[in-house]
Amino acid sequence: MNKAIENTLIISSNETKHVADIETELGQLPPVMCHGGELNQVILNIIVNAAHAIRDVVNDIGARGVIRIKTWADHGWVRIAISDTGTGIPAEILDKIFEPFFTTKPVGMGTGKAWRSARSAVVDKHGGTLDVTSQVGVGTTFTISLPGQLARASASIALASRSPDTAHRTGMRHDRSTIKAVR
């Protein structure tokens, strides 16, 4: 997972290099069964949106913001926190960002698909969580939580005792041909 984040930082460098310093604290992580390309896209979207939010703050004053990425293991889960010192998201719209076609960007600038797609990839396809905290004028933090192999194994054992229909509804079935372990 950490290597995927490092690669995503290289890809996003054209968006970040003029507006933000990147700080990473990449911890030791257990393997995660995941669709690597989808999670890379989620992380890329968060980083690019962070760079845009920082640009909106520092554009006229020539300063630089900070994007911080931290990973850690937490009781069988892999956590990825991506924070920025951008504009922040107002509290009154924070609960709407995962709605289809909702965007915080000016008309014509955003499609409103990135956050909905991110939520779908993390929550629906990987059985994880995607949390956001934000304060206007301070910045935003997105925290991705993904079950490591031990957490996924525990969930699979619990689901095995249920009917196949229940397992399908909880979203724990995955096409194993496209899922791989990523460290």
Nearest to 78 by CA among 142, 8, 122, 30: 30
For 50-59, 66-75, 109-118, which range has the lowest pLDDT when averaged over its residues? 109-118
What residues pair up with 147 in beta bridges, in sequence order? 77
Distances (CA, A) of 53 to 102, 140, 173, 180: 16, 9, 36, 33
Mean pLDDT, residues 68-82 taken together? 95
Q: What is the pLDDT of residue 114?
A: 64
Q: pLDDT at residue 32 above 90?
A: no
Question: pLDDT band for position 62 (50/70/90)?
Answer: confident
In terms of Cα–Cα distance, which of 112, 145, 108 is closest to 34?
Answer: 145
Nearest to residue 25, comparing CAs of 85, 58, 73, 75? 73
| CB-based contact 16:84 (threshold 8 Å) | no
CATH 3.20.20.140 fits 2-182, yes or no: no
Structure confidence at residue 64 as a pLDDT band (50, 70, 90): very high
For residue 136, name the pLDDT band (cuts at 50, 70, 90).
Answer: very high
